[in-house]
Structure 1
């Protein structure tokens, strides 16, 4: 196998070992030796591939964010053009089973706890927050929400996603992904209904876009 392929595999193994170590020992007690032992490698390989423990932890958070963004993209592609379905896709990706595995939840919580203290993790968190807000705002706008309110509804929804997710993670009892999607989805519906936008608006907006493309 080419060296690049071996390098990528080993980096992935070290990232997976980091997630497992954080789950088992907590962020502060996760050491290069513990990570290396779980990966079946020497601590020197961590320095070789990542430079330091901090750089490995940053790479691990970036990997989690990359996986989440891939899920969002996949679900949005499957949802089609209807904005309400696309909102469901965004919510669904954040509560996907793969994102809610116990080890993954432990890693997310550990990283969020370090955000105020580690600038590199803070930058990654801001990228995540901006991307989530932008995706939500776009679909609320396409549903006909007034421009001055799209930011507000995007912030409400993002806060609810993060809050439900974090509360479940801290409870230690696991996350009911179906219940979480329902809670956020019904809250979105309530806000839309309060603004005179029913679920039927999604069908109308989708049909209007299809008609526009045909006549273009």
Structure 2
């Protein structure tokens, strides 16, 4: 397997350092210097590769989004899953060990608060929300009428986001994250039991 290009390696080092910096200092106090210091790289590389701190912040959010995407793909690609199993995999992909890590949770929370004021981050968060909804709706529509499936997808997406947020802010997040997955899956099972047999053929 060929080695990744040095550019790719350094970019990932800076993204990893950004996650650590936000975890330690918060997004507001994360600077080019804190990031470059943690990465052990010249601060000039941030401008060179990302055009500055804001570009690196957006690249870090894209990295978190890609981790979500890859977590789902690794669970569904090449597998003959039922729609119900696919829904379960969607839940699990949002509560992976990486997405539950302190660095990821603190970075997500910082991004969400900043997205209210930053159009670039808001756009990325919108992509994230739409991707989750679309994946859920696709699976639910295989099990029930479209109008019911749409509502089920919206409710499930809200539950996943809400439980994730409550768990991230909890004093005992690991336990809460585990409970969150169970509750989200239980909700999906209840919806399927109630509406799953009403799918028009």
Q: TM-score, normalised by structure 1?
A: 0.86
Q: Distance in 1 between matches of 2:158 and 2:46?
A: 35
Q: Distance in 1 between matches of 2:166 and 2:189?
A: 22
Partner of 1:162: 161
Q: Distance in 2 between matches of 1:54 and 1:172?
A: 31
Partner of 1:151: 150
Q: Distance in 1 between matches of 2:77 and 2:3?
A: 34
Query: CA offset at residue 3 of structure 1?
Result: 11
Query: CA offset at residue 164 of structure 1?
Result: 0.5
Q: Distance in 2 between matches of 1:55 and 1:116?
A: 17
Query: CA offset at residue 190 of structure 1?
Result: 1.6
Partner of 2:118: 118
Q: Distance in 1 between matches of 2:173 and 2:7?
A: 34
Q: 1:59 to 1:172 in 2, by over 3 A?
A: farther
Partner of 1:13: 13
Partner of 1:206: none
Q: Distance in 2 between matches of 1:147 and 1:8?
A: 43
Equivalent residues of 1:80, 1:86 under 8 A apart: no
Q: 1:196 to 1:135 in 2, by over 3 A?
A: closer
What aligned pairs does 1:19-168 form with structure 2 within 5 A after superposition?
19-77=19-77, 79-143=79-143, 145-168=144-167
Equivalent residues of 1:102, 1:174 under 8 A apart: no
Query: CA offset at residue 98 of structure 1?
Result: 1.6
Q: Distance in 2 between matches of 1:79 and 1:107?
A: 32
Q: 1:142 to 1:182 in 2, by over 3 A?
A: same
Partner of 1:214: none
Equivalent residues of 1:79, 1:89 under 8 A apart: no
Equivalent residues of 1:79, 1:86 under 8 A apart: no
Q: Distance in 2 between matches of 1:173 and 1:29?
A: 25
Q: Distance in 2 between matches of 1:175 and 1:123?
A: 29
Query: CA offset at residue 178 of structure 1?
Result: 3.1
Structure number with bigger Rg = 1
Equivalent residues of 1:114, 1:121 under 8 A apart: yes
Equivalent residues of 2:167, 2:180 under 8 A apart: no
- 2:77 is paired with a residue of what secondary structure? helix
Q: Distance in 2 between matches of 1:35 and 1:196?
A: 50
Query: CA offset at residue 79 of structure 1?
Result: 4.9
Equivalent residues of 1:32, 1:46 under 8 A apart: yes
Q: Number of residue pairs matched?
A: 197
